[in-house]
Structure 1
Amino acid sequence: MSQDIKDVMNIRDIKIKDLSANPAPLGLMGFGMTTVLLNIHNAGFYPMNAMILSMGIFYGGLAQVIAGIMEWKKGNTFGATAFTSYGFFWLTLVGIVLLPQNEIYAGFVTESLPFAAYLFMWGLFTFVMFIGTLKGSKALSVVFLALAILFFLLAAGNYPGNPAILKVAGYEGIFTGLAAIYTALGQVLNEAYGKKIVPL
């Protein structure tokens, strides 16, 4: 047996360098931009429209699911869980809005109490995920804490149908989305320049 073959047989650990791109900025941008645009609506500046629903399907929804799958491939359980979950959140939200528009599903309109329960559960999930960010960057912690507050405000505003709470939620949601955009672009710029130029 040659020495080369013996050397190969003695190898116990193989390290593979991950050269794939960081999917977090894509997921954060999909989440952030869609959140800002929806919450400008919640703040009362324009009605629900096809732009919001399209962002919910394609950028907030599909782009985040893709980012989550990429995070799974990189072995990041937190990122995979967060991005995949929030991607499907946007898709379910669009479904809640659009399905009752079809005659077949017209009787399935989501009333205020179940919709508040839906938002509350997302708030609970987000708060637990926020705890998971405390070992990471402060910017990401701000995003998740602000998002948890947003879900709880939306739940509180939707159950009694309180427009004042919903308006506050709209402005808080704009902040949440902008925080996610800041975090995403900060990661992109820091990586592009190879040094910390945006504090996270």
Structure 2
Amino acid sequence: MNENHYDEIHVEKEIKKPDIIDVDIKSMTNNIIDPSPIGVFGLAIGAWILSMTDFGTASGENEVRIAWIAWLPSIAQLLAGFYDSFRGNVFGATSFVGYAFYWFSLTGAWYAARDVDYKAEHEFLYFAVVDICFFIFTIYELAFALGINLVLSAILFFILGSLLSCALQIINGISPKVNATFLMIISLLSFWFSLGGIFNGAAGGNLIPMGPGLWKWDEVIINLKKKQEEKLNEKINLN
């Protein structure tokens, strides 16, 4: 065997050598399960705990609430958001990560103010400002969710009510039981959504009814693309 022939074989082996860069990333992300059941389960627990404290049926001590809210809803939703980002789900990633940061920030503020009576301090009006900001965030999240299913839309609708009642509780001093009612409804709907996500995902069908969306985003996107193509064709014909 001459030297040139050996070099050709050596080069061919190097070309066929498997490389991690050649792995199909898209096929890997398609194998990631839907993380929404665990993310919404975290919301169900957090909303239930807050509802109990606002109803006055459990301790309202900040340390007790922080123990549950910091580790369950925050971490569960943050992980769900990361997994949704790997799956290319912009809506899920934005929603879960956004609300996870809300829980993290809320518990951090509670911990910092654990020895302060925030009802007597005007500086704590920023709680109301944050609630209003997340109220705006939830409005366009709800607008998108209306095209997914009714249970998710209902959860976001009652989150709007909870955020608004929280802001009014700080500004006008309305009863915390108003927010507690919203939170309990959110918790129950979240348990249903989590249940549906597990059973429907495992069965590949609609075992647990979630309610159809008011419209289909796929159809909306197709119609938009058709209109864009029609406009392009009109410009081409004019030229």
Common fold: TM-score over 0.5? yes
Per-residue deviation, 1:65: 0.6
Q: Work out whether 1:16 is the aligned partner of 2:24.
A: no
CA distance in 1, matches of 2:55, 2:42: 20
Question: C-alpha distance in 1, partners of 2:125/2:64?
Answer: 27
**2:122 and 2:206 mapped to 1: Cα distance?**
46
Q: Is the 8 Å Cα contact of residues 32 and 176 (structure 1) preserved in structure 2?
A: yes
Q: CA deviation at 1:102?
A: 7.6
Runs of 4+ aligned residues of structure 1 deviating over 4 Å after TM superposition are none
Which consecutive residues of structure 1, in runs of 5 or more, have no partner in the other structure? 6-13, 104-108
Separation in 2, partners of 1:148, 1:191: 28
What CA deviation, in whole Å up to 9, does each residue of 1:32-77 have, x standing for no partner? 1111111121122223244421221111111211110110010001
Report 1 or 2 for greater relative contact order, CA contacts < 8 Å, sequence distance ≥ 6: 1
Unaligned stretches of 5+ in structure 2? Answer: 1-14, 16-23, 211-239
Once the two structures are overlaid, the 10-residue window that deviates more, 59-68 or 47-56, is 47-56
Aligned partner of residue 125 in structure 2, secondary structure: helix
The separation in 2 between residues aligned to 1:101 and 1:156, in whole angstroms, is 21
The correspondence for 2:86, drawn from 68, 73, 76, is 73
Question: Alpha carbon RMSD of aligned pairs, Å?
Answer: 2.3
Contact kept? 1:60, 1:87, Cα under 8 Å: yes
Q: Which residue of 1 aligns with 2:55?
A: 43
Identity of aligned residues (%): 24
Checking the alignment, whether the CA contact within 8 Å between 1:112 and 1:160 is kept in structure 2 is no
TM-score scaled by length of structure 1 = 0.83
1:197 has 2:207 as partner: yes
Aligned to 2:167: 155
- 2:187 alignment partner AA: G
Larger of the two Rg values belongs to structure: 2
Q: TM-score, normalised by structure 2?
A: 0.70
Match of 1:171 in 2: 181
For residues 162 and 137 of structure 1, what CA distance do their matches in structure 2 show?
32
CA distance in 1, matches of 2:184, 2:50: 8
Tell me, yes or no, if the aligned pair for 1:33 and 1:178 is still in contact at 8 Å: no
1:114 counterpart (122, 126, 134): 126
